[in-house]
Amino acid sequence: MPSLQHVVKDLLASGAVEVVIGYEKAPGQNRTRPFFARTPEDADRLVFDFSALNNLAVYLTRQKRPAKGKIGIVAKGCDARAITMLMQEQQLTRDDVHVIGMECSGVTAEMGADLSKDTLAAKCVTCKVQTPPLADTLVEGPKDYERPDDRNGARMRELEAMTPEQRFAFWAGEFDRCVRCYACRQACPMCYCEQCVAEKNQPQWIETSATLRGNIAWNVIRAFHLGGRCVGCNECERACPADIPLGLLNRKLGMVAGQEFGYAAGMDASAPTLVGTWDKSDRQEYIK
Ligand code: SF4
Ligand code: SF4
Ligand code: SF4
Per residue in 237-269, pLDDT tens?
Answer: 999 999 999 999 999 999 999 988 889 999 999
Domain of 211 in residue numbering reads as: 151-261
Q: Please tell me whether residues 8 and 128 are part of one structural domain.
A: yes
Let me know whether 109 and 195 are in one domain. no
Average pLDDT over residues 152-181: 95
Determine the pLDDT at residue 265.
95
Give tens-digit pLDDT for 33-47. Answer: 999 999 999 999 999
Mean pLDDT for 142-160 is 84
231 lines ligand 2 (CB under 6 A): yes
Atom of ligand 3 nearest to the CA of 240: 1
Atom of ligand 1 nearest to the CA of 107: 5
Half-sphere exposure for 91 (CA within 13 Å, toward CB): 23
Task: Please check whether residues 198 and 118 belong to one and the same domain.
Answer: no
Whether residue 189 sits in one domain with residue 252:
yes
Residue 4 CA, ligand 3 centroid: distance in Å: 34
231 in a domain, yes or no? yes
Residue 283 lies in a domain: no
pLDDT at 284 over 80: no
Q: Is the CB of 216 under 6 A from ligand 3?
A: no
Q: Choose between 196 and 137: higher pLDDT.
A: 137
- From 83, 113, 139, the end of a domain falls on 139
Ligand found nearest the CA of 101: 1
* Closest-approaching ligand to the CA atom of 229: 2
Mean pLDDT of 226-238: 95
Domain boundary among the residues 88, 107, 139 is at: 139
What's the pLDDT score for residue 143? 66
Going by DSSP bridges, is the β-strand pair 46-47/19-25 parallel, antiparallel, or unpaired? Answer: antiparallel
The answer to the question of residue 24 being in a domain is yes
> At which of 93, 111, 139 does a domain end?
139
100, β-bridge pairs: 74, 137
- Express as a percent the part of the chain with pLDDT over 70: 98
If asked whether residues 58 and 159 sit together in one domain, one would say no
Q: How far is the CA of 14 from the centre of ligand 3 (A)?
A: 42
More confident call, 203 vs 226: 226
In a domain, 268, yes or no: no
pLDDT at residue 96, rounded to an integer:
96
Whether residue 135 sits in one domain with residue 37: yes
Q: Are residues 123 and 210 in the same domain?
A: no
- Together in a domain, 117 and 161: no
The answer to whether residue 272 sits within a structural domain is: no
Q: Is residue 77 one of the residues assigned to a domain?
A: yes
Compute, in degrees rounded to 10, the torsion defined by CA atoms 183, 27, 67, 22. -80
Widest distance between CA atoms in the chain: 60
Mean pLDDT of the chain: 92
Please report whether residue 89 resides in a domain. Answer: yes
Task: Render pLDDT for 50-104 as a digit per residue (tens, 0 to 9).
Answer: 999 999 999 999 788 888 899 999 999 999 999 999 999 999 999 999 999 999 9
CA–CA separation, 130 vs 50, rounded Å? Answer: 13
Q: Do 106 and 213 reside in the same domain of the chain?
A: no
Q: Determine the distance separating the centroid of ligand 2 and the alpha carbon of 189, expressed in angstroms.
A: 7
Ligand 2 lined by 187 (C-beta under 6 Å): yes
Q: Give yes or no: residues 111 and 238 share one domain.
A: no
- Residue 288's pLDDT is 58
Nearest CA to ligand 2 atom 5: 230
Mean pLDDT of 123-137: 93
User: Torsion angle, CA of 145/238/224/151, rounded to 10 degrees?
Assistant: 40
Q: Domain count of the chain?
A: 2
Q: Tell me the range of 13-17, 60-64, 203-207, 267-271 where mean pLDDT is highest.
A: 13-17
106 and 74 housed in the same domain: yes
* Residue 274 falls inside a structural domain: no
Residue 206 has a pLDDT of 85
pLDDT of residue 207: 84
